[in-house]
Chains A and B, each alone.
Chain A
Amino acid sequence: MIATGGIGMLFVWLRWYYGNTSLGMVAHAVTNTIGASILTAVVLMS
């Protein structure tokens, strides 16, 4: 929860600094894509 709250802090900083939510959406999607790739690889290779 602390780690995820930390990344939430990054996304909300992006919202404040750049003044839009779209940039955070892209960043969030990229972070989750890397996570989903690793998860998929682990599940299929375990």
Chain B
Amino acid sequence: MTDTSLALTARTAASVAPHPSVVAASPTPLGLWATIGWGTGAYVALWSPVLIDAVPRALWGMDIKVPALFDLLPVGHIAAGLIVVVALWWHRQPLRDYLALSRIGWSGIARGIGYGVLGFIGLTAAFVLIAVLQTLLGSGPSTAPTIVKLPFNMHTMMVLASLWFAMVVAAPVVEEMLFRGLMYRGLAESRVGVVGAMLLTSVVFGLAHYPGFGWSA
């Protein structure tokens, strides 16, 4: 085969190459029901610190003394992350390939920073817009955050440190692994399809942050 024909073959192959998201999706997907099952388990685990307190109180009127560890560590995120790992281990799937955790390099990091800033601007604009609409409709803004006054001492520093760890490390890693990794992958390659997976994971992501789980808390 000549150089010219090799180049033409390579160009033809490149022109028909599937989208990178399809290439990255080489391992066999878990399937719709397994994705829903494991996704629901991880979602409930995300809420576990709230549920451990709220469920016994609602059902039996019991006040459970939650260990102080639950206040300082993002226990829900750790549990949800473990469930994602166990799900892929159980189905013998390669973790990095299945969750599309590929290296992105410095340009990818720079792009991620740009989209992150854009996301924050969009989020703020959406909060303001919703508050204005609610005010115009006469119901008053329901998304206004509650400002907690804390004294400047060691306990406050520990609370803020755990908040930073939860928001900046645990939430991005675990929520991306769960919503855009496990759930998106399983749903997009089922009869739900890519658009359905995008909509469903976004709705579930929104619900996971309501009311005040993470962001506005």
Task: Give A4-46 interface residues, CB cut-off 8 Å to B.
Answer: 4-36, 39-40, 42-44, 46
Report the minimum CB–CB distance from A45 to chain B (whole Å). 10
Contact among A1, A30, A46 for B112, CB-based, below 8 A: A30
A24 to B158, CA, bound (A): 28
Once A36-B164, A43-B148, A46-B149 are accepted as A-B contacts, the answer to whether A21 and B100 lie under 8 Å apart by CB is yes
> Is B177 positioned at the interface, with any CB of A under 8 Å from its CB?
yes
Count how many pairs of residues, one from A and one from B, have CB atoms less than 8 Å apart in the complex.
189
Contact among A6, A23, A36, A46 for B115, CB-based, below 8 A: A23
* Chain B residues within an 8 Å CB radius of A23: 104, 108, 111-112, 115
B113 and A30: CB pair below 8 A? yes
Once A5-B202, A35-B167, A46-B149 are accepted as A-B contacts, the answer to whether A20 and B24 lie under 8 Å apart by CB is yes
B184 and A15: CB pair below 8 A? yes
Interface magnitude class on chain B: 35 or more
Once A28-B116, A36-B164 are accepted as A-B contacts, the answer to whether A13 and B198 lie under 8 Å apart by CB is yes
Q: Which of B6-14, B30-38, B59-67, B117-125 contacts A (4 or more CB under 8 A)?
A: B117-125
* Chain A residues within an 8 Å CB radius of B215: 4, 35
B112 and A8: CB pair below 8 A? no
> Is B94 positioned at the interface, with any CB of A under 8 Å from its CB?
no
Beyond A15-B184, A16-B21, A42-B147, 17 additional contacts (C-beta under 8 Å) are: A2-B126, A4-B205, A7-B122, A8-B179, A12-B202, A17-B21, A18-B20, A20-B20, A20-B100, A23-B115, A26-B172, A27-B119, A32-B167, A34-B116, A35-B120, A35-B215, A43-B148
